[in-house]
Structure 1
Amino acid sequence: MERVERLNPEVLGAGARLGERATLVQFSSAFCQPCRATRRTLAEVAAMVEGVVHLEVDAEEHLALVRELEVTGTPTVFVLDARGRIVRRATGQPRKADVIAALGAAVDTSPAAEGPE
C-alpha cells in the first residue's frame, strides 16, 4: 500500500479547511482522555500562530482514513504544511513546546519558503 504523504479538505471531510501556513490534524475518539488535553493544547497553539488551523477528526467515523494513515491510537496528530503535506506525526498527548517546534518545520516547508510547486 502506498503511504499517504498529503491530506486535503476532501479527504478530511466536509467543512475542513487547511491553514494558510500550517494545519494541526488531530485524530481522536470519544472516550479518549488524552484527546481532550491534546485538543486544548493544539487549539491554544493554533490561536497563537497566525495562519495555523486545528482540525479534529473522529477516528471512529473515519475508519478508512485511519487505516490508510496507519493511525494505531488516539490521539494521533499530523502537522501539515500549507500544501497539506504531512511534515510530522505523533501519537499520544503532545507537549506544547513540541507542537510549536513541529509547526516551525511545517512553516519552513511552506510554499512561500519553497516557491511555486
Structure 2
Amino acid sequence: MSFRIGKRFTFEAAHQLSGLPGGHKCGRLHGHSYTVEVVLTATELSESGFVIDFANLDPIKRHLAEHFDHQPLNEAIDIEPTSENLARVLFEWCAKNVPLPATAAIEAVRVSETSATWAEYRPCH
C-alpha cells in the first residue's frame, strides 16, 4: 500500500532559451507564471495520519521566493532554463533540503509555464 500527496507553489520569472531556430518566440526574453507541484509518497502514515504535514514543505516555498520569484532563470540555475531542467533542479534541491520521515520520499516535481503545459522530473530507481 502507498499514499501520494502533492503541494503546489507559484512564482513569476523570466527566461530566454538558446539554441532554438531563428525567430522562435522562446528565444526572446519572456516571462511566465510558473507552477511547481511537488509529489510525495509514503508506504505508511505518521501517527497523525499524514504522509508529511504540509507545513513541513514551507522550505520549498521560501526557496522559490528567495531564488526564483521575479528572477531571470538564466541566472538562477546553471543550465538551460527549460521546464524540464527546472523540474530536475528543484527535485534535487527538495531531495537534499526537505526533511522527510523514513517512510516518505519525493516522487516527482512538475513545473508548468502555462495552464496547458508541464514538464515532470522523477528519478529512475
What TM-score comes out, normalization by structure 1 length? Answer: 0.32
What TM-score comes out, normalization by structure 2 length? Answer: 0.30
Q: Which has the higher helix share?
A: 1
Q: Which has the higher strand share?
A: 2
- Larger Rg, first or second structure (1 or 2): 2
